[in-house]
Each structure stands twice: as structure tokens, then as C-alpha cells.
Amino acid sequence: MALNYDYDESSETWPFFLLTVLLMAVLPLTLLQLRALFSSDSDSNNSSSAEESELSSLSKKYTPPATADFAAKFQHKGTSVLLSLRSLLCLVGWLAIAFLVQRISASGISGSMSGAGAFDPYEILGISSSASDRDIKSAYRKLSLKFHPDKLPKDLTEAAKTAMEEAFVQISKAYEALTDEAVKENYLKYGHPDGPQTTSHGIALPSLLIDSRASLVLVVLYIASFVVILPYFVAQWWNRSKMYTRGGLHVKTAARFASCLVNYKPSQVVTVDMIVHWLSRAEEFRILFPGHEPLYFENLLQDYLHGRDSGSAKENEARLRCVAKCHTLLHGMLEVCCGFRNLEIAIATLDTFKCIVQGVPMSRDAQIMQLPNVDAAAFHEGKVDDICTLGKLFTYDNDKIGKILGIKDADKLKDTLDVAAAIPHLQLLRADFVVPGEEYVTPLSTPYIAIKVLVRSAMHRVIPTDKFPAEMLAEPQDFEHMKNPFASMEKQPVLPTSYAPRFPVPRRNAWMCLLALQKDVRILQTPYKLERLSLANMHNHLDKRTVAKLGPDFDPHQWEVASIRMPLGQQAPQEVGAVHMRVVIKATDYFGADLDLTMTMDVREPPRVDEVRDDIYADDSDDGDDSEADGESDDEDSDEEYTDIDTDTDAED
């Protein structure tokens, strides 16, 4: 078979090629763009209608003007540029596609190419493909009589004559293809009675690119793209992917944080100042503002925490940019802390998180200081009764609170109280280690931690656990839940945006759940981030100043008991016994919303197999198998007492 490579002299194929390539690029891009468009739509809908909580509007109200300007400047610009550039690419792509389609349809070659080379002897002879030899012969004879050059009428034009002759040639070829052995073989093998035809392979490049002068350019382009450009971009991509850790931290930052933890001496007290000092060594800050030492960033962060002016407007903006980076950095640092299993530093890191988000220094009074309008001097001056928690604050009536916090204006006081009442607190109701489908934790089983909490406001009266019926605090026992205990957590609503007016980026609160062994106070696993929790209880009315005591009219079903289910990273130990653990649930945004509890995992032997079998017998059989069961239980002494219990229950039933 002859091979013949044709360049695209008449520009027939390369538009197809180009069209394919374009579609491959433009279609996914457009789909992505559309999805981004719709998801951002639904996001803004969510936050504007359903989730625009009181708190976030208050947060906006109390945002300092400089911070608001900063947020408007950086957030808006970032998204819109991205959107428009991509949309422009999409648009250009689709225009090019439209042009190509138009060009292809105008040249009108798409249909004519496919049928040209086909040769079907049956069709030419006008018979079905199952025709017998005799039918073939008779059909051929009939047609050849009609088209034979000798039999043609004399008055035909030259063109018609050649068409007739051509038809006759076709007919005889078709006849031969069906009768002559050699020709038939050719037809079967190559699809044509004359044997192999020349095949032409088109290369979708216009010939002007291959001409002697241009071919050099093409070769250079080819080499450049595969030897220089492609490796360059792959290297870029690879370096960038190596530059940041999985948590989005610059590797140098991660390394410095790790260094801090390695060089940390246990004799030091871990304070927020120390964490801020470590934080200031982050590479991200140096990328933002090259040429500055960590001390500069540390001062900026400390200025931010203490509400001091950093000097110039430029430095104040730099400060906000640094602060806006901090939540990623602190999450990264928390990850490193958990990697080194250091609980003390992890807790201090989360305290620093709150300080940075709220823009207040760490102190005993931080819970009060996170509220708006609080006059710190007046608060410290007229300190009565050592108030430092919101719960304590709400034991006083509103006017007294105004006096304590030094707020004179009634509207401002209302805002302050609204914020104080809307900060979600967690009240522990119950905490268990649960193995799905088991009554208790058995050796080497995989339990999870189920913590029942009541989300409440500091204003609410504390509701004792025994006010809730047991079924509200029990884990569901249905099959769906046992299959995946954590699925129901995903159905909870996302936490609303926090009250964090000084933080330049909108924040959503989250609770980080740390798990540590009591034995060595070491963190056991990576922190679990709780981002979804229903805050429905916050709107309930149970003001501790008006409701003196929970009366008989208290209805626990008005309250929603939230479940925090944490997967446990490892199996229960092999040995029977108690393992003491400490669970620390710390909010990232609010002071006072934390929970710190100890839990004991009581590992017990599973029920013995014999015992289980006895159960089955006891359930299934009334009298017949009794002797058998007795015979078995005789083998082991310890089992006897259990069979006794079984029969007892049977008797009761």
C-alpha cells in the first residue's frame, strides 16, 4: 500500500484540528466559569437572606473605617480581576470557535469526503447481498445490455456517452468482484476490486509552514516548546507545589514553626506573646513586605492587638495585611503543634487565634474586652466582684452592666448586650466513647467520641443535664447512623460569620477539637475542625435574671441538643482497662466559648461467644433445646451464672 503524506494545501483539515483543540480548552473553562458564577450567586444569597445574622451586621457597624476600606480594597479587586480575565478568555475562545465553524461549513467538504471511495458491487448491480450466482449473472446481463458501448443509442451527447461508459466499467468490475476469485479476494481484502488503493494521510498543517524557509522556524518552535517552555512550566508548577504545605503554609514558615517547637524548652511558660513572636517569623510576611526583620512584624502584630497606632498610614495598612494572613498561619502552626503533639502550645496557639481575630490582648478580661463599646479604664476602675466572664456579667441587670462597662449611651449598651448574648457557649451534657453497634468499648475496636452539648447564650440560665430526657442524649441506633456516624454532622448549618470588627477579613467561627492523653498530656491526633453547628438555641428565652428557677413548665424539647462526633485516629488498646483522655474544644473566634473536659475510655472484654449463643437459644427455643444448652454451659463454670440470668429474664417475659 502506498503511503503518501499530504500537507494541507487547500486548508481543508487544519480548521478541524484547530476546532478540536480549541473545544478541548474552552469547554472545561466555560463550565468552570459557569459553576463559579452559580456557586458565588448561591453563596451571596445564603449570606444575604438567611444567614445575615444580627452579629455580622453589628460586626460591620463597629468595623473601624480603616479596616473597612482595607477590606473593600483587597477583597473586591481580587475576585473581579480573576473573573473578568477568565471570562475574556472564554469569550475569545468561543468567537474563534464560531469563526472556525463558519469557515468549515462554508467550504462544505464535510459530507462529500466520506462516501467517495466506497465500492459496493451489489448496489451497482442492483441486487440484494444474498443474491445467488444466477441472479448476479442475470442482473449483470440485463445491465450490460443497457450500458454496453456498442449498444448505446447514436444521438447521445459526448458527456452522457462517457457517463454511460463509466457506468459500464463499474458494472463489469462489480460482476467480476462477485464471480472472479482473484478479484473477489482483492475486494474482500482492500475493499476495491483493483487491489490496494493509495491512501492519503493529511497533516493538519498549512503547507506554507513546511516550506523550506518556514520549516526552520517550525523546527525551532518545536524544539523551544518541548525543550524550553514545557520543562520551564512543569518546573514552575512543581516548585510552587513544593513551596506550600498541604495546609497552605509556605514551607519556610512551616520549617521555622517546627524549629521554634524543637527549640522550645519545657521550662518556658507558653504565652500569647511567645506565639506572636513565633508567628512574626513567617515567610509570608517577608514576601508581602521584603526587607523587614521579624521584629518589625512582631511590633505590628502587637500594635494591632493593643489597638496602638503603628506610625504612618502605610504601616497601618501593612499591619492589616499581616493580620489578614494570620488565620492561615495560625491554623498551620496548630497543625505543627499537633504534629509535635504539644497540647500546651496548641492551646496557646488557639488563644492567640482569638486575640488576633478579636484584636484584643490576652488577659483575664478578654471575654469582656471582645465586646464593643467597652471602656477599659472605667471597667478596671469600678471593678466589682471580680467579673471576667460573660456569664457573670449577665447576673446583673442591664443598667448595672452599663455602669460596670462604662457605657452611658442606651443604644450602644443595647449593641453591647446583643453581642454578649449572641456569642455561642457550649454546655457539656454528656460525653461517651461509642463503638457503632456495641454497648461498650471492646479491645481493638474503633470507637468515636460522641459529645452532647447544649449551645447556649451566656444570658441563659444553666440547664442541668437531668432536665433532658435520656433519649435526647442517646446516640441514634438506626442503621444509617451506624454506617457513618459523622454524616449527620454534615447536615448541620454552617456557622454564621462572626462578630470580629477589627479583623480585616470576614470570619466564620469554628471549634477546634483537640484530643490528648492524660498520661503524658500529649496530643493524640490531628485536630478536628467543627464548622457546622445549629445555633437555634440562641434565640430561646431563658434569661437568668428573669427566670429565677427552672419550673415545671420547662420543656426540654424546645432546646436542641447538639452532637459533636469526633473520629478517633486509632483503635482502642488491646488490654482491658481505663484510658484517660482530655478533650479540648476551643473556639477560634470568641473568648469564653470553650470546653475542656476529661473522658475515660473504659475498655472491657466483649461478651463471650458462648454467652451470645446461649442468648440465641434462649430466644429461639422454649423447651426442646434446654438440655443441650445446659450441657454446654456445664463445660465452663463461669457461664453458668449468665445462663441463670437468661432464664430469669425469660421467666419475667
Partner 1 sequence: MDSNSTFEGDFHGFNGTSFNGTYGNSTNGNGTFTGAEDKVETIPISFYTPVLYAVILVVSLVLFSRHYKQQRLRQLAEQPDIFDEHDAEELYREIKEMSQTQKVHEKVLKAALLNRGAEAIRRTLKLKELGPQIELMYKSGTIGEDYWERFKAETKVVEAEFRDSIQEAEALQPGWPKLFATLCQEICFNQALSRRYHSILARKEVCIKEWDLQLNSDGTLKK
Contact set with partner 1 (CB under 8 A): 1-3, 5, 7, 198, 207, 210-212, 215, 242-243, 245-247, 251-252, 254-255, 258-259, 262-263, 265-269, 271, 335-336, 339-341, 362-364, 526
Nearer to partner 1, 267 or 627 (CB): 267
Q: How far is the CB of 348 from partner 1 (least distance, A)?
A: 11
Smaller CB separation from partner 1, 156 or 221: 221
The set of residues, in sequence order, having a beta carbon less than 8 Å from that of 609 and lying 6+ positions away, is: none
Name the residue type at position 199.
T
Our measurement of the distance from residue 316's CA atom to the centroid of its chain's CA atoms, rounded to an integer in Å, reads 34
Q: Which of 162, 266, 202, 190 is nearest to 17 (CA)?
A: 202
| 210 Cβ neighbours under 8 A, 6+ residues apart | 7, 218
Q: Which one, 427 or 525, has the nearer CB to partner 1?
A: 525
Q: How far apart are CA 562 and CA 571, in angstroms?
A: 25
**Residue with Cβ nearer partner 1 (336 or 538):** 336
- How far, in Å, CA of 325 to CA of 116, rounded? 67
Measured from the CB atom, the residue of 456 and 586 that comes closer to partner 1 is 586
Q: Is 492 exposed, middle or buried (0-12, 13-18, 19+ CB in 10 A)?
A: middle
For residue 486, the 8-state DSSP code is: T
Contacts of residue 582, defined as CB under 8 A and 6 or more positions apart, other chains included, come to 343, 515, 516, 517, 518, 521, 596, 597, 598, 599
Q: Which runs of consecutive H residues, i.e. helices, occur in 465-569? A: 470-473, 479-483, 487-490
* CA–CA separation, 387 and 397 (whole Å): 14
* 3-8/199-206 β-pairing: parallel
Distance CA 124, CA 122 (A): 5
Report DSSP letters for 424-472, one per residue. Answer: -EEEEEEEEEE-TT-SS--TT---EEEEEEEEE-TTBPPPPGGGS-HHH
Nearest CB to partner 1, comparing residues 154 and 213: 213
Choose between 94 and 340: whose C-beta lies nearer to partner 1.
Answer: 340
Query: CB of residue 202 vs partner 1: minimum separation in angstroms?
Result: 13
Q: Which is closer to partner 1, CB of 6 or CB of 41?
A: 6
Nearer to partner 1, 132 or 263 (CB): 263
Least Cβ distance, residue 176 to partner 1 (angstroms): 24
With beta carbons less than 8 A apart as the criterion, state whether 339 and 501 touch.
Answer: no
What does the alpha-carbon distance between residue 556 and residue 570 come to, in Å, rounded to a whole number?
35
* Residue 32 or 251 with smaller CB distance to partner 1: 251
DSSP alpha helix (H) spans, 148-267: 158-179, 181-190, 212-223, 230-243, 251-263
Measure the CA–CA gap between 490 and 485, rounded to whole angstroms. 10
Shortest reach from residue 299's CB to partner 1, in Å: 19
130: cell is 444474498
Using the minimum distance from each CB to partner 1, give the nearer residue, 199 or 571: 199
